[in-house]
Every structure is written in structure tokens, then in C-alpha cells.
Amino acid sequence: MDNLTHSFVGAVLGQAGLKRTTGLAMPALIIGANLPDVDAACFFWLEGTEHLAFRRGITHGPPALVLLPLILAGILWAFDRWQTRRGTRPEARLPVRFGWLYGLAFIGCLSHPALDWLNVYGIRLLEPFSSQWFYGDTLFIIDPWLWALLIGSVGWSWWREKLGGDQRPIARGAIAVMLAYIGVNGAITWLDNATRGTMTEPYPRAYIAAPLPLTFWRREQIAQLEDGRWISSDWKGSDFGYGYANSDQRQCRLPDLTEARRTNSQLDAFLFWSRAPFASRAADGSVILYDARFYDPRARDRFSVALPDVECVELSAG
């Protein structure tokens, strides 16, 4: 999920009562909820699609979820001691308890992969013990409805607290509604997968029920047919490549890339990450690899790999 969602999940947990456990509880929860995304720094040293193979892996796995909160708790504890020595520590701040700081940072960190698992991008929950990708297919990566719920509840609870009231029921109610919302979306995805949506025989070889932005009750039905083509119920022309305005865009037979990926780090990273890879014809007749979940022929850098030395063998459009 996006970092705004992660941040407000940490904030609503604090408003639900956890911030009363120790000084600096809110920073521990909010920063902790974003901490696994330190892997975004890989953009400084990785090129092209190599980030796809690195992100949502090692910093989202079990060892990181233990160590990252420990580092954060140590920094916050040291910050409190530093302010005390300088005489700048706020008088209203509760005593800082390291054990509670670590526990809250851990809860914040744990909420991060739990949310990331909910979308179609995927997450390697067991890294470094296993590189298997897990997909929840439950929420779109940016969910405005979740934004509205979290921002509204945090703001309302803060306002009530400032007026001397108890903010905890508001935040706890928001958490209950959020969990119910996730549950309903999970049920929609489950039902769509069970029925294959509106698709009829011949049934697809592979199928993804992908959540959509805003219209959370709908699912983009992404499917791979027996001939290897990927189609989508919610994309232009309902067929990747054939529905695009550029008539040169055609799906190609996916070649054997076993040898090529050994010497091409971009290709290897893409195929390691891709859940629904397909080949499309470039203007010069060569091949471009896309992923059916993130298909956009106008933005070829982030979620695609060009293979200029591979000739496109087109699949039938019918």
C-alpha cells in the first residue's frame, strides 16, 4: 500500500490507546508502519527493472521485522535521553519505556507487510528463507475509501481529545470498520475467483481478480487463455495489445528465456517479479515483455523489458 495509508494506520493504532503506553509512542507506531519501505533506497543503486526483484523482499521478511523495530526503538530512546540532557524534553511527554517502544515499533512494522500483502503487486513474506511471492488481491494499492476512513477517524479522534473527551472509541471503531472493509473486499475477490467472473468456457489457464481504484466492489478479470494470450475485462478492447491504438502492438509467443536471463540482469529481475508475463510486438518486430497486471505500452521503463534481439512470433488475435 502507499505510505499515506501506512502512516495513518500507525496513527489510528496510537489513537486507539497505544500512545498512552509510553512516551514517543506515536513516532514508534507511525515510523514503524513505514519502516520496511527503506528498501526504496534501492533506486539509488539499481537500474531499470532490477528494483522489482529487490523491493518487498528482505526488509519485509521475518528477520527485518524483528531488527528494524529494535533499531527504531533505540533511536527514539536515545533521542529522549538527548533531549533530557539538553533540557529540551517536553514536560508533558510520558516516561519512555524501551520495552514498550520496541513493542509498538514492532506492531507498526508488522502492519506494513500485512497491508502490502492485500494488493496484486505481491510480497515475499518469508524472505530470506523463501523467495515465494504472496498475493492478497484484496485492495487496490491506493484506496481512497481507506484514506477517507483513516484520515477522518484520526482527525475526529484528535479533535475529541483536544476537547477533553476520550478519543479511543472513535479510533477503535475505525479499526473495526477497516477490518470489515478488508473482509468484504476479500470475499468479493474470493467469489470472483471461484466463479471466474463473467468468463465462460474455455476457462482460462491462469486468472487474477484485480481490485480497481474507487469502485472497490468491482474486479478487473485478468486471464491467460490456452493459446498463451492475456486478456482483461477492464482494459481497452478487452485484449492486451490488440485493443491499443497502435496497430503494431501484438502479443507474441513467449520465447524460452532460460539462457537469456542468465546474462541479462534486467530480464532476470523482471521474470523473478512477474506474475503474468507476456510478450508484445515492438514497432521494429522485436519483443517487449510486460506484466498483465501493470500493462501500459506508453510507460515501458518501470514494468517492462525490451528484448531487441528476439523476433516476435505473433499469436492469433482470434
**Tens-place pLDDT, residues 98-145:** 999 999 999 999 999 999 999 999 999 999 999 999 999 999 999 999
Instruction: Give tens-digit pLDDT for 66-76.
Output: 999 999 999 99
Say if residue 179 is in the same domain as residue 257: no
Say if residue 172 is in the same domain as residue 269: no
**d(Cα 231, Cα 280) in Å, to the nearest integer?**
13
Task: Decide if 121 is inside a domain.
Answer: yes
Task: Decide if 72 is inside a domain.
Answer: yes
Q: How confident is the model at residue 155 (pLDDT cuts 50, 70, 90)?
A: very high
Say if residue 151 is in the same domain as residue 265: no
The phi and psi torsions of 93 (rounded to 5 degrees) equal -70, 135
Q: How confident is the model at residue 203 (pLDDT cuts 50, 70, 90)?
A: low
Say if residue 168 is in the same domain as residue 91: yes
Task: Decide if 202 is inside a domain.
Answer: no
Say if residue 14 is in the same domain as residue 96: yes
Q: Which domain holds residue 296?
A: 249-311
Is pLDDT of 212 > 70?
yes
Say if residue 99 is in the same domain as residue 183: yes
- Mark which of 187, 208, 227 sits at the end of a domain: 187
Task: Decide if 208 is inside a domain.
Answer: no
Residue 227: the pLDDT is: 80
**d(Cα 285, Cα 184) in Å, to the nearest integer?**
45
- Would you give the end-to-end CA distance of the chain in angstroms? 37
Task: Decide if 287 is inside a domain.
Answer: yes
| pTM of the predicted protein model | 0.89
Residue 201: the pLDDT is: 63
Is pLDDT of 247 > 50?
no
Element (H, E) at 309: strand 304-311
- The residue type of 154 is V
Lowest-confidence pick of 34-43, 131-140, 168-177, 279-288: 279-288
Say if residue 16 is in the same domain as residue 128: yes
How many beta carbons lie within 10 A of that of residue 202, not counting itself?
9
Task: Decide if 117 is inside a domain.
Answer: yes
Is pLDDT of 240 > 60?
no
Task: Decide if 207 is inside a domain.
Answer: no
Say if residue 95 is in the same domain as residue 183: yes
Nearest residue to 34 (alpha-carbon basis) of 62, 8, 73, 61: 8
Q: How confident is the model at residue 298 (pLDDT cuts 50, 70, 90)?
A: low
Task: Decide if 293 is inside a domain.
Answer: yes
Residue 129: the pLDDT is: 96
Q: How confident is the model at residue 316 (pLDDT cuts 50, 70, 90)?
A: low
Lowest-confidence pick of 45-49, 81-85, 163-167: 45-49
- Mark which of 141, 159, 187 sits at the end of a domain: 187
Contact yes or no for 210/222 (Cβ under 8 A): yes
Is pLDDT of 13 > 70?
yes
Say if residue 152 is in the same domain as residue 295: no
Number of domains within the chain: 2
Q: Average of pLDDT values for 77-99?
A: 95
Say if residue 183 is in the same domain as residue 257: no
Residue 245: the pLDDT is: 33
Q: How confident is the model at residue 199 (pLDDT cuts 50, 70, 90)?
A: low
**d(Cα 110, Cα 100) in Å, to the nearest integer?**
15
Is pLDDT of 95 > 50?
yes
Say if residue 16 is in the same domain as residue 93: yes
- Mark which of 187, 202, 223 sits at the end of a domain: 187
Is pLDDT of 239 > 60?
no
